[in-house]
């Protein structure tokens, strides 16, 4: 009898949580053969934690420590401990606004992924949709990539193009990119699982 368990996702975010909702719905609906094991955030009042409660999933705020753009050593250890305690196989960054260092990444080698609202390597960093508008590009999009210690520099896994339309504002373009993200992220994680690139850590 095949009793292989589902891949367990640990989702980490700082913001409103629309990507998390898409992932949780895909897991519930069976389109993504995985389960959300835990949701963590560095922002106590974040939308992602509220949404996790709505799905009745374990969710925790964990203090990020004294830095603005990364976790301090103690915080990083707390995040790793919470993910291990939840027996997470894959760490899914969904709007987490801090850089992860080597100690975190080596706890989950080849198992940390992120989604970015541009066609990397163009427009890494903040407000990528605004960077795209300011440059006048005609096509932008979103990218799922492996996470390394740089800012949006990890190897690319999948991308979806989104056209920039005449009259787009930062808000309309951002919303269209996010709609694409909500399709691309669950689909890409599902593909990685089907191919066996992502699998339960113990198998
Ligand atoms: C997404 O646009 C993602 O690309 C970026 O952060 C945003 C998070 O949005 N890394 P949400 O919290 O999932 O709504």
Give the pLDDT of the chain (203 residues) as one tens digit per residue: 445 799 999 999 999 999 999 999 999 999 999 999 999 999 999 999 999 999 999 999 999 999 999 999 999 999 999 999 999 999 999 999 999 988 999 999 999 999 999 999 999 999 999 999 999 999 999 999 999 999 999 999 999 999 999 999 999 999 999 999 999 999 999 999 999 999 998 65
Which atom of ligand 1 is found nearest the CA of 177?
Answer: 2
pLDDT score of 1:
46
Reply yes or no on whether 116 is catalytic: yes
* Distances, alpha carbon 40 to alpha carbons 46, 170, 181, in Å: 10, 28, 20
Q: Rounded to an integer, what is the distance from CA 40 to the centroid of its chain?
A: 11
Cβ partners under 8 Å of residue 200, min gap 6: 4, 5, 6, 7, 8, 89
Q: Which of 38, 39, 49 is nearest to 15 (CA)?
A: 49
For the residues of 120-166, what is the DSSP string, one character each? TTSS-SS-HHHHHHHHT-SEEEEEEEE--SSSS-SPEEEEEEEEPPT
pLDDT score of 96:
97
Q: Which of 137, 115, 118 is nearest to 127 (CA)?
A: 118
pLDDT score of 102:
85
User: Helix, strand, or coil here: 97?
Assistant: coil
Task: Ligand 1: list residues with CB < 6 Å.
Answer: 13, 15-20, 48, 94-95, 115-117, 178, 181
Cβ–Cβ under 8 Å, residues 171 and 11: no
pLDDT score of 82:
98
Please, what's the b/e burial string for 185-203 (b: 16 or more CB within 10 A of its CB; e: otherwise)? Answer: bbbbbbebbeeeebbeeee
pTM: 0.95
CA of 92 to the centre of ligand 1 (A): 12
Cβ–Cβ under 8 Å, residues 162 and 172: no
pLDDT score of 203:
52
Residue nearest to atom 14 of ligand 1 (CA): 18
User: Helix, strand, or coil here: 146?
Assistant: strand
The one catalytic residue in 116, 135, 145, 174 is 116
Could you tell me the strand order of the sheet in which 34-41 lies?
A: 59-61, 34-41, 7-13, 90-93, 112-116, 139-146, 156-163
Which atom of ligand 1 is found nearest the CA of 16?
Answer: 12
């Amino acid at each position: 009898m095949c009793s292989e368990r589902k891949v367990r996702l640990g989702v980490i975010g700082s913001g409103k949580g629309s990507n998390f909702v898409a992932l949780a719905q895909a897991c519930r609906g069976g389109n993504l053969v995985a389960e959300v094991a835990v949701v963590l955030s560095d922002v106590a009042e974040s939308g992602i934690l509220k949404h996790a409660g709505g799905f009745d999933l374990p969710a925790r705020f964990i203090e990020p420590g004294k830095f603005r753009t990364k976790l301090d050593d103690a915080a990083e250890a707390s995040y790793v401990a919470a993910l291990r305690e939840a027996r997470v196989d894959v760490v899914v960054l969904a709007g987490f606004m801090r850089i992860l260092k080597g100690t975190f990444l080596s706890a989950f080698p080849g198992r940390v992924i992120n989604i970015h609202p541009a066609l990397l390597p163009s427009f890494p960093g903040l407000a990528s949709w605004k960077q795209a508008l300011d440059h006048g590009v005609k096509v932008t999009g979103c990218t799922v990539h492996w996470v390394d210690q740089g800012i949006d520099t990890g190897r690319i896994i999948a991308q979806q193009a989104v056209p920039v339309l005449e009259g787009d504002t930062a808000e309309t373009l951002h919303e269209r990119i996010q709609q694409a993200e909500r399709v691309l992220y669950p689909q890409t994680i599902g593909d990685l699982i089907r191919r066996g690139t992502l699998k339960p850590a113990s198998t």
